[in-house]
Amino acid sequence: MPQIKIPAVYVRGGTSKGVIFKLSDLPERAQNAGEARDKLLLRVLGSPDPYKQQIDGLGNASSSTSKALILSKSTQPEHDVDYLFGQVAIDKPFVDWSGNCGNMTAAVGAFAIAQGIVDKEKIPENGICTVRIWQKNIGKTIIAHVPIQNGEVLETGDFELDGVTFPAAEVVIEFLDPADGEGAMFPTGNVVDLLDIPDIGQIPATLINSGIPTVFVNAADIGYTGTELQADINGDPEKLAFFEKIRAYGALKMGLIANLDEAQTRQHTPKVAFVAPAQSYTASSGKMVEKQEIDLLVRAFSMGKLHHAMMGTASVAIATAAAVPNTLVNLAAGGGEREAVRFGHPSGTLRVGAAVAQQPNGEWTATKAVMSRSARVIMEGWVRVPDDCF
Give per-residue pLDDT as tens, 326-337: 999 999 999 999
pLDDT for the residue numbered 60: 97
pLDDT for the residue numbered 264: 87
Give the residues across from 67 on adjacent strands.
87
* One domain, residues 158 and 226: no
* One domain, residues 157 and 252: no
Asked if pLDDT for residue 181 goes beyond 70, the answer is no
* One domain, residues 215 and 278: yes
- Give 66: exposed, middle or buried? Use CB within 10 Å, 0-12, 13-18, 19+: buried
Indicate whether 26 belongs to any domain.
yes
The mean per-residue pLDDT over the stretch 369-381 comes to 97
- Is residue 311 part of the annotated active site? The answer reads yes
The mean per-residue pLDDT over the stretch 87-109 comes to 96
Contact 297, 276 (CB under 8 A): yes
The mean per-residue pLDDT over the stretch 373-382 comes to 98
Indicate whether 355 belongs to any domain.
yes
* One domain, residues 58 and 206: no
Give pLDDT tens digits for 285-295. Answer: 999 999 999 99
* One domain, residues 322 and 249: yes
Q: Among residues 300, 320, 306, which one has the least CA distance to residue 208?
A: 320
Sign of CA dihedral 48, 49, 52, 56: negative
Reported pTM: 0.90
CATH of residue 60: 3.10.310.10
pLDDT for the residue numbered 218: 98
For the chain, the helix, strand and coil percentages under 3-state DSSP, each to the nearest 5: 20, 35, 40
Give pLDDT tens digits for 5-31. Answer: 999 999 999 999 999 999 999 999 999
pLDDT for the residue numbered 182: 61
pLDDT for the residue numbered 265: 84
* One domain, residues 154 and 20: yes
d(CA 12, CA 375): 5
Range of the domain at 344: 193-362
Q: Which band of pLDDT confidence, cut at 50, 70 and 90, is reported for residue 179?
A: confident
pLDDT for the residue numbered 267: 87
* One domain, residues 380 and 342: no
378-382 LR contacts (CB < 8 Å, sep 24+):
378/10, 378/11, 378/12, 378/17, 379/9, 379/10, 380/8, 380/9, 380/10, 381/7, 381/8, 382/5, 382/6, 382/7, 382/8
Q: Give the DSSP letter of residue 199.
A: T
Cα three-residue angle 386-18-89, rounded to 5 degrees: 70
The mean per-residue pLDDT over the stretch 116-122 comes to 97
Indicate whether 369 belongs to any domain.
no
Give pLDDT tens digits for 196-232. Answer: 999 999 999 999 999 999 999 999 999 999 999 999 9
Considering the candidates 1, 101, 129, 371, report the single residue annotated as catalytic.
Answer: 101
Indicate whether 300 belongs to any domain.
yes
What share of the chain in percent tops pLDDT 70?
A: 99
Indicate whether 188 belongs to any domain.
no
The mean per-residue pLDDT over the stretch 246-272 comes to 94
Give pLDDT tens digits for 44-71. Answer: 999 999 999 999 999 999 999 999 999 9
* One domain, residues 163 and 292: no
The phi, psi pair for 132, rounded to 5°, reads -95, 120
pLDDT for the residue numbered 180: 60
* One domain, residues 163 and 204: no
Number of folded domains in the chain? 2
* One domain, residues 204 and 170: no
Considering the candidates 185, 310, 311, 371, report the single residue annotated as catalytic.
Answer: 311
- Is residue 303 part of the annotated active site? The answer reads no
* One domain, residues 248 and 350: yes
* One domain, residues 71 and 24: yes
Computed over every residue of the chain, the mean pLDDT equals: 96
Q: Spell out the alpha helix ranges (H) of 90-201.
A: 102-114
The mean per-residue pLDDT over the stretch 311-324 comes to 96
